[in-house]
Structure 1
Amino acid sequence: MEEIDDETLMMQYAKGDVQAFTRLYYRHKDSLYRYFLRQTASPEVAEELYQEVWGKLIKAHLDYSATSKFTTWLYRIAHNHLVDHYRHNSTATKIITASIDEPSEELTKSIDLSDPQSNLLESLSQSQQMQQLKQCLQQLPRAQKEAFLLKHESGLSLKEIALVINETTENIKSRLRYGLSKLKHCLRLNGESK
């Protein structure tokens, strides 16, 4: 069976095909939920934001046009909703702490310290790696953490991330470079202190 791309499914949903929405939902539900979970301090808040974004998508489905990838459009809605949430709760200047209970395999693979100079992660147990990754992600500035998670958790390209958060591609590259550097440094420090 041929895989139908997200944009086609969304266009079908805009024409009234509810099964097309169901396929989109199941295709993106886990990564969208993890995006909110890692951006908030509470699974309850993440769940609320997650449900509200799907509601917004349903309301806006007739306005969708395939001028960009569906995931870019979806995460733009999610990003804007997250920003609105923090503005509404008067915490826009607060650093958002991550709640990472179950880091995905893609996320843990994205932090590769197994370079010739350091094999720290190989020497740690899986649970130690997860705990250290949680702690290090919590320390990243919000903008770097969001760019990192959109890249490594949601699989968006640099250009798509730039569209989602309304930044230049160069700024996204910088955020990712600095964020990854801070994560590697943090993981090395945690590995050395063991």
Structure 2
Amino acid sequence: MGDISVSDDVLMRQFCAGDGKAFQALYARHEKPLYRYLRRVLGVALVAQVDEVFQDTWMRLVDARDSWQQRDGVAFKTWLYTLAHHRAVDILRKSGREVSADEGWLDDDSETAWQLWPASSAEQPEQPEQKAFWRKAGQQLLHCLEGLPAMQRAAFLLHHDDGLSLDEMSQVLNAEFETVKSRLRYALSKLRLCMGAHLQPILEADATS
């Protein structure tokens, strides 16, 4: 991972100045999360394209090293994910998949699907049954993500997996702030309903056992 005290932007400037080790540090820092993002955005049907998009993203970064510079406060990570996301959208479109992000519905009552789920607390060790529940929940979440429209899935992943702010997401997704906010709300609503529908029987079974 290298020296974590050195920011991405400093490393990128060093790479642009000819420091190959700076590129290695950037790659090591972002390799796994970026690959995970592309894998989940493209989904099961396009898993064979993930390696190509991942490698092409880094090649585009290398090609831009002579002209790269920070603009309007855009951080390196935001810029990197913008490159990756635009390449992923190209693949989605070529495959004939829908990439218009604003279709869907919003279920205002979807919060009820979560109310009986066991809390996950960092202050107290989880019981074996809680660990089993959250392991199952994690597996189910991946399944539910597959059911989202691609751009709603991207909004959820960028925010909850990769920690981007709504402003940063607007840059990556090339969309207005309110549009990105709506996509995230749609995604959360659908995921809550999907997760509740699949995991509620587990809770009911535990309650009667």
TM-score range, shorter chain: 0.7 to 0.9
Uncovered stretches (5+) of structure 2, i.e. residues with no partner: 101-110, 121-129, 203-209
Q: 144, 151, 155: which one pairs with 1:136?
A: 144
Q: Is 1:175 the equivalent of 2:183?
A: yes
Contact 1:31–1:154 (8 Å) recurs in 2:
yes
**1:9-158 equivalences in 2 (<5 Å):** 9-40=11-42, 41=44, 42-67=46-71, 68-87=74-93, 89-93=94-98, 117-119=115-117, 125-158=133-166
Distance change >3 Å, CA 58–CA 29, structure 1 → 2: same
Structure 1 distance, partners of 2:66, 2:54, is 20
Distance change >3 Å, CA 155–CA 94, structure 1 → 2: closer
C-alpha deviation, 1:92, in angstroms:
4.0
Distance change >3 Å, CA 186–CA 49, structure 1 → 2: same
Q: Which amino acid aligns with 2:82?
A: R
Structure 1 distance, partners of 2:163, 2:155, is 11
Measured against aligned partners, the alpha-carbon deviations of 1:85-112 in whole angstroms (never above 9, x if no partner) come to 233x3414379xxxxxxxxxxxxxxxx9
Distance change >3 Å, CA 178–CA 86, structure 1 → 2: closer
Aligned to 1:101: none
Q: Is 1:4 the equivalent of 2:2?
A: no
Aligned to 1:98: none
Contact 1:12–1:20 (8 Å) recurs in 2:
yes
C-alpha deviation, 1:120, in angstroms:
5.3
Structure 1 distance, partners of 2:39, 2:87, is 14
C-alpha deviation, 1:131, in angstroms:
2.5
- Report the structure number with the largest CA radius of gyration: 2
C-alpha deviation, 1:113, in angstroms:
8.9
Distance change >3 Å, CA 58–CA 19, structure 1 → 2: same
Q: TM-score, normalised by structure 2?
A: 0.75
C-alpha deviation, 1:135, in angstroms:
1.8
Distance change >3 Å, CA 36–CA 127, structure 1 → 2: same
Measured against aligned partners, the alpha-carbon deviations of 1:140-189 in whole angstroms (never above 9, x if no partner) come to 12111110111112221110110111111111111112211211111111
Contact 2:113–2:195 (8 Å) recurs in 1:
no
C-alpha deviation, 1:129, in angstroms:
1.4
Aligned length: 176
Runs of 4+ with >3 A deviation: 112-115, 120-124
Uncovered stretches (5+) of structure 1, i.e. residues with no partner: 96-111
